[in-house]
């Protein structure tokens, strides 16, 4: 296991590529355009420079990590020698299914196919391939180079051998794998997203303001950031998408997205990436100023 392909060079994809490359793996980073790949590589370089400045790695480590990554705009070219492919494309079920159909066709027969999905069924993804026993979930946390947790999700037909192999591989990148079964939201988002949704409901119903809600959770429950700030960081569109998967999967009204969250996504207020969510990021990426009067 020396060659690992990563599909998607966005926030999660470039973090996954960075992590594997830093631990000595040859990484093939794949995206649909060279511009996207250049942006991803610039992010990796910036993050490595930050690690050098903090004396966590040396300049030689940085250069070796970058040398371990090769970029491709063709899936077929990028995966031809891959022992493992980690898909980190946008959280869209149709897109992911199409990618896995293609991967199944062009990858070597023994290549393990992993998805970084945060909520979509591994079993559903595996079902469009001819190798469901080799399909597994590897849900990394953002920012990938820093966060220790990886949820390892077993699909209905994922083999014991593949499960153990991916657990062991994850440990080699100095991360902590946690094995979970394939149900909507897995563990992380099944617990986190209802908390975020309830925080939005609390704001929507005028119980308290944005800063007040976040302050209660930070100072009262020792969370490093409040749930509304966290939602902005994740992306409100991503939060909405995951809640819709939970609601569709369980048909339980407790997972129904708050109307305020739905309206904000419709209005394009997606959080940090759009410059505004619950907080205004036009001047700083820090959650310093509330975007508007919500209650």
Catalytic residue, chosen from 68, 118, 199, 241, is 118
Q: How far is it, in rounded angstroms, from Cα 161 to Cα 182?
A: 17
Pairing label, strands 84-87, 112-115: parallel
**Cα angle for residues 265, 271, 275 (degrees, 5° grid):** 110
Catalytic residue, chosen from 116, 119, 139, 197, is 139
- Centre a 10 Å sphere on the Cβ of residue 292 and count the other Cβ atoms it contains: 10
Q: Is 116 a catalytic residue?
A: no
Q: How far is CA 32 from CA 15, 19, 37, 261, in A?
A: 17, 21, 8, 30
Q: Is 102 a catalytic residue?
A: no
Q: Is 151 a catalytic residue?
A: yes
Q: How far is it, in rounded angstroms, from Cα 59 to Cα 55?
A: 9
**Contact in structure between 115 and 87 (CB atoms under 8 Å):** yes
Catalytic residue, chosen from 151, 197, 199, 276, is 151
Q: How far is it, in rounded angstroms, from Cα 3 to Cα 80?
A: 10
Helical H runs in 26-108?
34-53, 59-67, 75-78, 93-106
Q: Is 92 a catalytic residue?
A: no
Task: Extract the runs of DSSP E, i.e. beta strands, from the chain.
Answer: 3-7, 26-30, 69-72, 84-87, 112-115, 135-140, 149-154, 176-181, 279-280, 289-290
Catalytic residue, chosen from 47, 116, 119, 189, is 189
Residue 253 is encoded by which pair of tokens? 């009204």
Catalytic residue numbers, as ranges: 118, 139, 151, 189
């Amino acid at each position: 296991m020396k060659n690992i392909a990563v599909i998607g060079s966005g926030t999660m994809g470039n973090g996954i590529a960075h992590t594997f490359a830093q631990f000595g793996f040859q990484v093939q980073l794949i995206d649909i355009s060279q511009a996207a790949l250049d942006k991803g590589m610039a992010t990796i370089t910036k993050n490595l420079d930050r690690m050098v400045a903090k004396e966590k790695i040396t300049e030689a480590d940085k250069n070796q990590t970058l040398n371990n990554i090769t970029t491709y705009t063709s899936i077929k070219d990028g995966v031809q020698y891959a022992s493992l492919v980690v898909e980190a494309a946008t959280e869209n079920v149709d897109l992911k299914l199409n990618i896995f159909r293609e991967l199944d066709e062009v990858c070597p027969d023994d290549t393990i196919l992993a998805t970084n999905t945060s909520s979509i069924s591994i079993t559903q993804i595996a079902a469009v391939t001819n190798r469901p026993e080799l399909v597994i979930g590897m849900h990394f946390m953002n920012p990938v180079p820093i966060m220790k947790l990886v949820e390892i999700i077993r699909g209905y037909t994922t083999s014991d051998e593949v499960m153990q192999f991916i657990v062991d591989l994850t440990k080699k990148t100095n991360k902590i794998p946690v094995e979970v079964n394939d149900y909507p939201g897995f563990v992380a988002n099944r617990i986190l997203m209802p908390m975020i949704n309830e925080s939005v409901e609390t704001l929507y119903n005028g119980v308290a303001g944005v800063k007040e809600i976040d302050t209660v959770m930070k100072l009262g429950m020792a969370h490093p950031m409040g749930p509304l700030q966290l939602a902005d960081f994740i992306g409100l569109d991503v939060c909405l998408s995951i809640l819709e998967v939970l609601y569709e999967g369980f048909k339980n009204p407790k997972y129904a997205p708050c109307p305020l969250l739905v309206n904000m996504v419709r209005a394009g207020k997606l959080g940090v990436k759009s410059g505004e969510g619950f907080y205004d990021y036009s001047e700083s990426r820090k959650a310093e100023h509330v975007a508007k009067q919500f209650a």
